[in-house]
Chains A and B, each alone.
Chain A
Amino acid sequence: MHPATATEKGTFMNELDHFQEAAKNPEGYGKNLKASGRPVIGCLCSYAPEELIHAAGAHPMRLFGTKEAIVNADGHLQTYCCSLAKGVLENTLTGRLSFLDGAVFPHTCDTIQRLSDIWRLNTDYDFFADVVYPVKLNTQSALDYTVDIFERFKKNLESWSGQSLSEADLTRSIEIFNSIRDQLAEIYRMRSKDPACLSGSLLSSVVKGSMILDRDELPERLFRLRKEIEEGRYAVPGNERKKRLIVAGSLCDHPDFFSILEESDGVVVWDDLCTGSRYFDETVDIGVPPLEAIARRYVERRRPCPAKHLSNTARGEALAAMAEEHKASGVIFFLLKFCDPHAFDYPYLKEYLETRNVSVTLVEVENQLPPEGQLKTRLETFIHML
């Protein structure tokens, strides 16, 4: 146990406990926040322009899949649909997301595109919006179009909230989200420098928690958390000697995966995950008109989601550079079954990385992790071969 483990009243809670609690029970957190009078908007992926939602006085909350059985969603989505889409739909159809005021669907893959339709047709929240991103990111017209869709999204929010969104509101929100992103990146850097400062499963709950917790409080929380990490409160001695790895994929909502990996003598020092660095990668420029600045972050980021086209080899280059920068000798692709964009990229990324002396392995998951023994054997074998 940690020295300052939470008491019953929570007086001596570690900062990390807040992240962990939120990560364990996002719905509970959302419900409480809603009860306090704050509207809550569900966000489907890391491309949801959270600054705009926040500036409109609402709370952007990331939606995840479910560990519960899929019952209702099976009546809308076939067996060959990924667990994220099914889980999100299951959560809304069973009423577990009834605290939401609505949701925003950024355009990503074919599945989320149809999930948006199915959600729109089968739920009756107050607010609903598609943010139909361009699929290519390398042209001026795509950038201009992105500014346009944010303009539309801003109007959607304004007509829903009944308040106009000023430039000052937006700038204030941008500053808050920039601080969150900077600090998450800083925690990642601390951990890349010293993997023994925090376990991988706790780090994953920090990122997940950051997608759930009240953003107004979050910069302070992250600041205190960094201090606690620096003090060595969460130290896991031995991690510094483990094989340094990168994990890449869409989302990984399985903290156990990181524990099993660390038990197998490996440690993740950076990631390319939608529930990881893609959430906080790169900040929004200040001093540029806000919508354009936000658009630029999404369009110009060097590590895009694979459902978007930056160049034919952008992801290979980014992963190779990441491995080099963080001295990782292997990349674990943690992919959701039926996730097409990642499945298409895998063979080329494997080849691209292996020719650059970075080893690669694939873990494919549906709803649950593979049985622990089996997963551990695979990971150990991979790690020992490094």
Chain B
Amino acid sequence: MSQTVSKTPPPIAMDEKMKEIMTNYYIEAKTASDSGKRVAWITSGGPVEPLIAMDIIPVYPENHGAMIGASKMGGSLCEQAEAMGYSGDICSYARADIASAVTCGGPIGGLPRPDMLIACNNICGTVIKWYEVLARYYDAPLFIFDTPMCHTDYPEESKRYVQRQVHEYVSFLEQVTGRKLDQDKMEEVGRLSLEAQRLWQAVLDTATARPSPMTAFDGFYHLALIVTLRGTRVAVDYYRDLLAEMEDRVAKGIGAVPNERYRLMWDNLPIWYRLKWLSKKFAAHDAALVADTYNTAWCRSLRYIDENDFLGSMAEGYTRMYLNIGVDQMADTIIEMAEKYSVDGLVMHSNRSCKPYSFGQYDIQRMVRERLDIPCLIIESHMIDERSFSEAQTETRIDAFMELVEEKNQCKER
């Protein structure tokens, strides 16, 4: 039982490995021009596998945004973007990234110049506008991979349209690089991508154990590779080792939160500049965030992809992403996860930076309450603009919420 290991758990050993891989990845990306490789900037939900198969280095402004946020440099970069005329109401990733492109600011001195830009709107429409800004600034070719919103279903015409774009995308890459896509390599990359996604899901599934060997906050850190390096052997090996470590923790009864008593679920992107604070805050209430909608977004559409025909099936996988479905389907997903991970409460980050993720949360909250009878908390912020965060207010709300969770649990125990 958790009581037997009430001390702070040992750090996750793979943390160091992650740091090493990401450092190497950014060094390789930043020296791409020396090695004659091309760099593509791509959205986090974008179809990266063809890039990997063509030996193009994918760079993710959103991952960069997360690093900026975690380094607490978002506020000043956002402020610079506002000085350029960008509204303080738009996505803070976009604001910080645009400012960083112009000023080479941020924790790694800006991203390497893109040879091409790939924007996929399965996460939001914001990326279209953001990448237009980048395309004008860098004078780089922009490919838009358009994935029509699946409000209630995935109709035939969307299927045809997205499938045609898979071919247009490959032609675009072939034209920019002057090389042909190697089909065998493509299929191999597709298999590796799926394998990494399956392993990542398995890692997240270990959090169904009591106590949970990891929290969503750990996930937000270990997520980096499924975003940036899916389709590579490195990611597969990494997640296999991480899974082994988590399984070992489960076997030994090591919980990420000492004395885990309450299990919570998180919705929306992390508040990157407050990860540690939030993690401690919840841990102080013996609460572990064992599930979330963000970490799983990169493996949720696994079921639509055919391992033996990656290019022929990725259209559906990429179109039916978590953020590209209706609010009711999102609620179903949350409820399903809440049950799977046996959660006692839902924490929703109402993210001023991400309207498609946040609008609809009030309705989801109602649906969750009706069907599960668990307390819900809503915290508001801009995910990497720390100027928008009110610590005192958030703290009070978390404390009040945890009281409710405790009460509900006592009732259940009685």
* A interface residues, Cβ below 8 angstroms from B: 75-78, 80-81, 85, 107-111, 113-118, 120-122, 130, 132, 134-136, 139, 141-142, 144-145, 148-149, 151-152, 306-307, 309, 312-313, 337-338, 340-341, 343-348, 350, 364
Contact = CB atoms under 8 A, between A and B. Distances in A.
Contacts of B144: 135-136, 309
A139 B87 contact: no
B350 A78 contact: yes
Interface in B20-37: none
B129 A340 contact: yes
Contacts of B126: 110, 340, 344
A107 B356 contact: no
Nearest to A77: B359
Given A118-B363, A135-B146, A344-B129, 9 more contacts: A76-B362, A76-B363, A77-B362, A78-B359, A111-B355, A132-B158, A142-B161, A144-B161, A307-B125
A118 B359 CA distance: 9
A76 B144 CA distance: 31
Contacts of B155: 152
Nearest to B125: A110
Interface stretch (B39-47, B131-139, B204-212, B242-250): B131-139
18 contacts: A78-B380, A107-B149, A113-B356, A117-B360, A118-B360, A121-B363, A130-B152, A135-B121, A141-B165, A145-B148, A307-B125, A312-B136, A312-B142, A313-B136, A340-B90, A340-B91, A344-B126, A364-B87
B281 interface: no
Contacts of A121: 327-328, 363
Interface string B149-166: 101100101101100110
Nearest to B331: A121
Contacts of B125: 108-110, 113, 135, 307, 340-341
B132 A344 contact: yes
Given A134-B161, A145-B157, A114 B85 contact: no
B104 interface: no
Nearest to A76: B362
Interface SS of chain A: helix, strand, loop or mixed? helix
Nearest to A151: B157
B130 A117 contact: no
Contacts of A139: 168
A341 B126 CA distance: 7
Q: Could you say which of A81, A139, A340 has the most chain B C-beta atoms within 10 Å of its C-beta?
A: A340
B100 to A, nearest CB: 16
B201 interface: no
Q: Could you say which of B126, B128, B160, B328 has the most chain A C-beta atoms within 10 Å of its C-beta?
A: B128
A228 B130 CA distance: 46
Given A135-B144, A149-B157, A152-B155, A114 B362 contact: no
B202 interface: no
B135 A116 contact: no
Contact of A340 (B136, B161, B355): B355
B157 A80 contact: no
A132 B326 CA distance: 13
Q: Could you say which of A76, A78, A306 has the most chain B C-beta atoms within 10 Å of its C-beta?
A: A78
B84 interface: yes
Contacts of B363: 76, 117-118, 121-122
A350 B87 CA distance: 13
B356 A110 contact: yes
B136 A306 contact: no
B86 interface: yes
B38 interface: no
A80 B359 CA distance: 9
A71 to B, nearest CB: 14
B168 A343 contact: no
A306 B144 CA distance: 15
Contacts of A344: 86, 90, 94, 126, 129-130, 132-133
A120 B151 contact: yes
Interface in B149-195: 149, 151-152, 155, 157-158, 160-161, 164-165, 168
B350 A117 contact: no
B95 to A, nearest CB: 10
B86 A343 contact: yes
A317 to B, nearest CB: 12
Please list the 4 inter-chain residue pairs (A to B) with the smallest Cβ-Cβ separation, ordered nearest first: A347-B85, A344-B129, A148-B157, A114-B359
Given A120-B151, A134-B148, A309-B144, A343 B87 contact: yes
Contacts of A108: 125
Contact of B164 (A77, A141, A347): A141
B124 interface: yes
A132 B350 contact: no
Interface string B356-372: 10111111000000000
B89 A80 contact: yes
Contact of A136 (B89, B146, B356, B359): B146
B352 interface: yes
A299 to B, nearest CB: 12
Contacts of A85: 359
Interface in B337-390: 350, 352, 355-356, 358-363, 380
A116 B150 CA distance: 12
A118 B87 CA distance: 26
A350 B121 contact: no
B149 A113 contact: yes
Nearest to B135: A312
Contacts of B136: 312-313, 348
Interface in B312-351: 326-328, 350
A114 B90 contact: no
A341 B130 CA distance: 9
Contacts of A145: 148, 157-158, 160-161
Contacts of B142: 312
A274 to B, nearest CB: 16
B343 to A, nearest CB: 23
